[in-house]
Amino acid sequence: MLASKRLYPLIACAAIVVAVVAAVTGLAEPVLSPNPLDLTIGEYAALDRTGAAGLAMAALGIAAFAVVAGLRSVGAPVDALAERLVLAWGAGLVVLAVLSAVLPATGTDLIAQTYRYLSIAVLAAVPAAGGLTVARFGEDERWRPVARPVEWLTLAGGFGLLALVYVMLPGQGMFVGLVEWSLLGAEVALVGVLAVRLARLTWARGAAHASRAALG
């Protein structure tokens, strides 16, 4: 049981690293745009021919599932709704990864529109989960060290969502790509903070058990 608890944060951290490397590699591809940050996440996925977009989103989906499993395994102070929101974020990213493979091969607008609205829904999930969780972390001794970073990243995500609504409506889409990428970056950072804290808790507990077994 302890071995599986220690495995969850390792999977999450490794998946986040893979996702970041894939995204940076894809954004560096000059074929996409002179400035890839002008592209929305959906536009980037539709134009990408390297597979980096799909890999990054699938890896983030795996990270989300592993983080939720890890939080449950250690009894973290996270309520069911927050867990479901993170799982929805991960599942949505996996669906987007599949759609990113389908989008370039279709000439219809339906999949592109589905991709667009699903990506917006996905981007709203993690800030909402952070808002439900940060107060509980502040009250728990094990999770208090990350309560402030989670709060900052949740606020960044909330402001990012407000900025996204603005640029899509009165802003007429100006800088929408930059806003989407910044918002996704804040969300990945929040999930990463949880994964790193999980790793510290589970591996420290494992080391303590090993020490007691050696002394006993």
DSSP string, 56-86: HHHHHHHHHHHHHHHHHHTT-S--HHHHHHH
pLDDT value at 210 more than 50: no
- AA identity, residue 67: V
Residue of 157, 145, 159, 125 whose CA lies nearest to 194: 145
Measure the CA dihedral 25/167/127/70, to 10°: -20
Give domain status of residue 142, yes or no.
Answer: yes
Give domain status of residue 210, yes or no.
Answer: no
- Contact residues for 118 (Cβ-Cβ < 8 A; gap 6+): 92, 95, 96, 99
- % of residues, the chain, pLDDT over 90: 47
Give domain status of residue 78, yes or no.
Answer: yes
pLDDT value at 48 more than 80: no
| Encoded tokens for 72 | 């449950």
- AA identity, residue 58: A
Mean pLDDT for the chain overall: 82
Give this prediction's pTM: 0.87
State the total domains in the chain: 1
pLDDT value at 96 more than 90: no
Could you tell me the CA-to-CA distances from 77 to 7, 53, 127 in Å, in that order?
Answer: 20, 33, 17
Give domain status of residue 179, yes or no.
Answer: yes
Give domain status of residue 35, yes or no.
Answer: yes
Tell me the average pLDDT across 202-214: 52
Tell me the average pLDDT across 3-32: 82
Q: What is the pLDDT of residue 16?
A: 96
What CA–CA distance (Å, rounded) separates 166 from 103? 27
Q: What is the pLDDT of residue 35?
A: 63
What does the pLDDT look like over 53-80, one tens digit per residue? 889 999 999 999 999 999 999 989 998 9
Q: What is the pLDDT of residue 30?
A: 58
pLDDT value at 3 more than 60: no
Q: What is the pLDDT of residue 148?
A: 94
What does the pLDDT look like over 97-114, one tens digit per residue? 887 766 655 555 666 677
What CA–CA distance (Å, rounded) separates 45 from 39? 9
**Coarse DSSP helix, strand, coil percentages of the chain, rounded to the nearest 5 percent:** 85, 0, 15
Please, are residues 70 and 90 in contact by the beta-carbon 8 Å criterion? Answer: no
Confidence grade of residue 160 (pLDDT, cut at 50, 70, 90): very high
Give domain status of residue 129, yes or no.
Answer: yes
What does the pLDDT look like over 168-205, one tens digit per residue? 776 666 778 888 889 999 999 999 999 999 999 987 65
Give domain status of residue 211, yes or no.
Answer: no
Give domain status of residue 120, yes or no.
Answer: yes
Range of the domain at 119: 2-205
